[in-house]
Amino acid sequence: MDLFDLPLPILFGQLMLGLLNGSFYAMLSLGLAVIFGLLNIVNFAHGAQYMLGAFLTWMLLTYLGIGFWGALIIVPIVAGLTGMVIERVLIAPLADADHLYGLLLTFGIALVIQGGFQVAYGAAGIPYRIPEALAGGQRFGAIFLPNYRLFVLVVSLTVCIGLWLAIEKTNLGAYLRAATENPELVSVFGINVPLLVSVTYGLGAALAGFAGVLAAPIYSVNPTMGVELLIIVFAVVVVGGMGSIAGAVVTALVLGLIEALTKIVYPEAASIVIFVIMIIVLMVRPTGIFGRTA
């Protein structure tokens, strides 16, 4: 099928969906890339932290009557603090061990969290309502854009760009970049690197939790939602280049779009196209498209 033979609304709808998925990939891969850069661990718990964000959003509403807007503020804070505790208590003691241990540990953490939620809430999805203020949508001729999806797109891109600027332009960001390159020397320069590591991991977890809140009204809230997404996000990070922040975000959006377009042209390939691209990139440019060569 030719892309350009499609009715505009369908093409546009798919592009929108691609960008939307891409913005979730972006939020998660950004956190993953920053954590990988500084801690040198592939954070398998990232998907669980995202799932936790969505569940917390639902729990806040169900048990405490706190709605979406409250969750948007509370959940990232809870996720961030939990992340910092996990880093301090579980990950930090492994800092000097082989990085494989960190990977196994975070994988274990993910399984424990996911398993716990499966026992408590079952594997079926739980719906979460789109907040009142963002219900409905905008109509441009034949094209309909749901308000909530526009909101997610704008918010997630703002957060990603904001974080990118914070990392590239601020002093704290300079500490982070420097510690990513040479943590020893940064510690000699008077900076508390273990604290920087905890804060960074906490920020990554907070961002995953934040994405979870945004995801709750779109995707159904269920214990495996993180695993499914995380596998794709890993591919995104590999394609973009481990440790490259802007690269992770741009790659996430582009791959989201490619995935959506594949769904139109050849739906059967939609679920594997990102991985095919990952394999090609690994063969042609193992450091990733935006990765720095060592």
Partner 1 sequence: MSEAAHTHTAPGAASATMLSVRDLNAWYGESHVLHGVTFDVPPGKVISIVGRNGAGKTTTLRAIVGLLKKRTGSIVVEGTETIGLKPRQITRLGIGYVPEERGIFSSLSVRENFTLPRVVRPPIMDRDEIFTLFPNLAHRLNAPGTKLSGGEQQMLAMARILRTGAPLLLLDEPTEGLAPVIIEQIGETIRRLRDKGFTIVLVEQNIPFAWSLTDTFHVIEQGRVVDSIATGHGQTDAIGRLKSYLGV
**Chain contacts with partner 1 (rule: CB under 8 A):** 171, 174-175, 177-178, 180-182, 184-193, 292
Q: What angle do CA 55, 116, 195 make, to 5 degrees?
A: 70
| Closest separation in Å from C-beta 86 to partner 1 | 23
| Closest separation in Å from C-beta 108 to partner 1 | 27
Nearer to partner 1, 193 or 203 (CB): 193
Nearer to partner 1, 73 or 185 (CB): 185
Q: What is the DSSP letter of 143?
A: E
Nearer to partner 1, 129 or 169 (CB): 169
Q: What angle do CA 85, 22, 16 make, to 5 degrees?
A: 140
Please give the distance of CA 5 from its chain centroid, rounded to a whole number: 34
Nearer to partner 1, 158 or 182 (CB): 182
| Closest separation in Å from C-beta 185 to partner 1 | 5
| Closest separation in Å from C-beta 186 to partner 1 | 7
Q: Please provide residue 146's backbone torsions phi and psi, each rounded to the nearest 5 degrees.
A: -65, 135
Tokens 């943590």 locate to 183
H/E segment holding residue 128: none
Query: Which among 178, 158, 152, 160 is positioned nearest to 236, based on CA atoms?
Result: 160
